[in-house]
Structure 1
Amino acid sequence: MAGHGYTKTDPAVDRWNVMREAVYQNFRWNKRTARQAIFGMVLFPAAVYALAYNQHNKWDWAGKRKGESLLRAAPAQESD
């Protein structure tokens, strides 16, 4: 329906839409796309998993009162 009445079409927007809809047909692997794929599908999820695994049993949020440590194994307090 574009182009009818008072609507003006922009040829640049139309070219961009055509390119965006057909991007999978023109995709090629190169160093940049391979690096982005490896980072996005391997390294980033592995880093998130490592962080979650490291912090999993470190914190305890249940039943804590003001002033109590959130650490599961709270460090011993030194007495004078």
Structure 2
Amino acid sequence: MAGHDHIQALHQDPAYIKWNNMMVNRHKYFRWTPRTARITFIYVVAVPAVLGTLGYMTDGKWNMRGKRRGDLISEF
């Protein structure tokens, strides 16, 4: 219906096909380098540690529930 039987009706860009094949097979060509190890450490260890520390340090310091204009939000 409505022309769906023409699979390759449009010309495909060779650069896009090459990029798509690279994205699909990226796991085959991955290598651990100092740069990839550093980026992985930052996103797997450093960012969650910093966010967890900030969350732990500020836990319970502010209460937004039931406040009116002029009331303080700090609880310490």
Place the TM-score, normalised by the shorter chain, in its bin: 0.7 to 0.9
Identity %: 34
Gaps of 5+ in 2: 1-6
Aligned position for 2:19: 16
TM-score (norm 2): 0.86
More off after superposition, 60-69 vs 16-25: 60-69
RMSD: 0.9
Any residues of structure 2 matched to 1:37-76 within 5 Å, and which? 37-73=40-76
Letter in 1 for 2:25: A
Gaps of 5+ in 1: 74-80
TM-score (norm 1): 0.82
Q: Using the alignment, how far apart are the partners of 2:24 and 2:66 within structure 1?
A: 53
Asked which structure has the greater RCO (Cα within 8 Å, sep 6+), the reply is 2
- The total of aligned residue pairs comes to 70
Return structure 1 stretches of 4+ with deviation > 6 angstroms. none
